[in-house]
Amino acid sequence: MKPDRTGSSLWSWLRPEERIFKGLLLTLLLGGCWSPGAHSLEVSVGKVTSVEALNGSDVLLPCTFSSCIGYEDLLFRWSYKRNSTLELMFEATIKGPEYEPRILFSDYRVQFAGTSKSNNISIILFNVDFDDSGQYICYAKNPKEKNRVHRATYTLLVVSEMKVVDKTLTTIIVSVVGGLIGFLVVFLLGKKLILFAIAKSRERKECLVSSSGIDNTENGPTGSKGNTKQTSKA
C-alpha cells in the first residue's frame, strides 16, 4: 500500500540523491548575485594599481565596473585623497547601459575618457604636478542595490624624471641566447653539407667501380687474347 502524500512536503518524499542534486541546483540558482553579502556591483582599477608620471604630463586614471544584476541611474565619482579628506574631481550618472554619462561636476583639468558601452568610467588628469601625487578613489553607487557603495583606489606618483631601468643583464642574456641559436643553426647547416658531400663522394666511387667492372667484362679477363678470325682459304 502506497503512503498517502497528501498534505506532506514534497521534499520529504525525495530520495537522498535527489535531495542532494536539487539542493546543489538551488544553491547555484540562488548563489552569485543573489547570495547574501555578495557584491553584485564591482569596481576595479585593473591589476596594476599604481603608476609613475612625469611632472607636466597627462595621466589616465583607469576604472571599470561590472554588475550581474544590471544597473540603473548609476552614480560614479572620482576623488583625490588629500590627507584625510576627499576632494571631488569628477561626478556623473549613467541612466542605463545604452546611455552615456551625464556629467554633474568636473574639475577643469579632468576629462572623461570612458564609455558606458564597456562599463568604462576612466578619466584623464591633465598637466600633473608634484602636488597631484597620492591616492585617487573611483567610487560607484547603484540604486538597484539599495545604494550600496563600491570603490577602488589608484595611486599616482609624479616624478621629475623616469627611472632608467638597467638592461645590462637582459642584453647579456639575449646576446648569449642569440649566439647559441646562431651556433646551432650554423652547426646543423655544416653537418648537412658534410653529409651531402660524403654521400656524393660515395656515389662517385660506386659509379667508378661499376664502370671499371663493365669495361673488364667487355674486354675479357686480363692477359687473355682476343679471338682472331681464321683466314679463309681461297
pLDDT tens column, 18-54: 656 555 554 444 444 544 445 578 999 999 999 999 9
Q: Note the pLDDT of residue 24.
A: 53
Tell me what the mean pLDDT of segment 161-176 comes to.
71
First to last CA, the chain: 137
State the number of CA atoms in the 13 A half-sphere of 126 facing the CB. Answer: 8
CB of 95 within 8 A of CB of 73?
A: yes
Among candidates 62, 47, 42, which has minimal Cα distance to 120? 62
Question: In 40-164, which ranges are E strands?
Answer: 41-44, 50-54, 59-61, 64-67, 74-82, 85-94, 102-106, 110-112, 123-125, 134-142, 148-159
| Global confidence as pTM | 0.57
Residues 79 and 88: their CA atoms lie apart, in Å, by 4
> What is the tens place of the pLDDT at every residue in 174-219?
778 888 888 778 878 887 888 888 887 777 777 766 666 655 555 5
Mean pLDDT across the chain, nearest whole number? 78
Model confidence band, residue 161 (pLDDT cutoffs 50, 70, 90): confident
Task: Output phi, psi for 206, to 5 deg.
Answer: -65, -35
Question: In the chain, which ranges are E strands?
Answer: 41-44, 50-54, 59-61, 64-67, 74-82, 85-94, 102-106, 110-112, 123-125, 134-142, 148-159
Q: Note the pLDDT of residue 148.
A: 80
Nearest-5° Cα angle at 72, 67 to 77: 80
Q: Note the pLDDT of residue 234.
A: 44
Q: Note the pLDDT of residue 33.
A: 55
75 grid coordinates: 552614480
Higher pLDDT, 16 or 53: 53
Q: Note the pLDDT of residue 217.
A: 53
Q: Is 199 helix (H, G, I), strand (E, B) or coil?
A: helix
Residues in CB range of 113: below 8 A, 6 or more apart: 60, 120, 122, 123, 124
Strand partners, 76: 92, 140
pLDDT exceeds 60 at position 131: yes
pLDDT exceeds 70 at position 126: yes
Q: Note the pLDDT of residue 197.
A: 81
Q: Note the pLDDT of residue 204.
A: 73
